Structure 1
């Protein structure tokens, strides 16, 4: 069952959730959504950076470099979506208000 289906069933049955159950449900939903979005972006990028008959070796190297940089961002997004949920904000070490 997908995380969205589980969240829908839990929210519509009218029973309260314990905080740890709610946190786990939201983490699963975030992870699943992040994976789906990253997979869609990866598929879109793979078609954009294919070698065409008019590409020179230099232009294709630039395409590969740009694809690698784009995939690094996609993989970072995947890693962030799968990261455990922080329950508290980190301590602010300076007293700046700006």
Structure 2
């Protein structure tokens, strides 16, 4: 049973959930949703940054950089979904704005 259907049944059963049960249910839902989102984004990225015959070395280098940045975001989403206490990863640049 998916986390969504479990949450739906728990919310519509008329029985109040204990705080621990509710937290576990929401964590399962967050984990499942995060994994599905990361998998969908990764599927969309597959093939988008491949080298074509018209690419120069510079344009292909930019494609690789963009692909790397995209995959770091996908991995950050996966890490947030898996963690028991989600926190955002550290920003990679020193910008203050």
Normalising by structure 1, we get a TM-score of 0.79
Match of 1:95 in 2: none
Aligned to 2:34: 34
In the other structure, the counterpart of 1:69 is: 69
Give the ranges of 4+ consecutive aligned residues of structure 1 lying more than 6 Å apart after TM superposition: none
- Aligned partner of 2:14 in structure 1 is 14
Structure 1 residue 77: deviation in Å? 1.3
Count, aligned residues: 86
- Which moves more between the two structures, 41-50 or 63-72? 41-50
Match of 1:23 in 2: 23
3-state SS of paired residue (2:35): helix
Gaps of 5+ in 1: 87-98
Q: Which whole-Å CA distance do the structure 1 matches of 2:68 and 2:46 have between them?
A: 10
Q: Distance in 1 between matches of 2:42 and 2:10?
A: 32
- What TM-score do the two structures reach when normalised by structure 2? 0.80
CA deviation digits over 1:21-49, x for unaligned, max 9? Answer: 00000000001101111111111112321
Structure 1 residues 54-63 or 28-37, which shifts more? 54-63
Larger Rg: 1
Q: Structure 1, residues 30-76: CA drift from partner, whole Å, max 9, x if none?
A: 01101111111111112321222211233212211210111011101
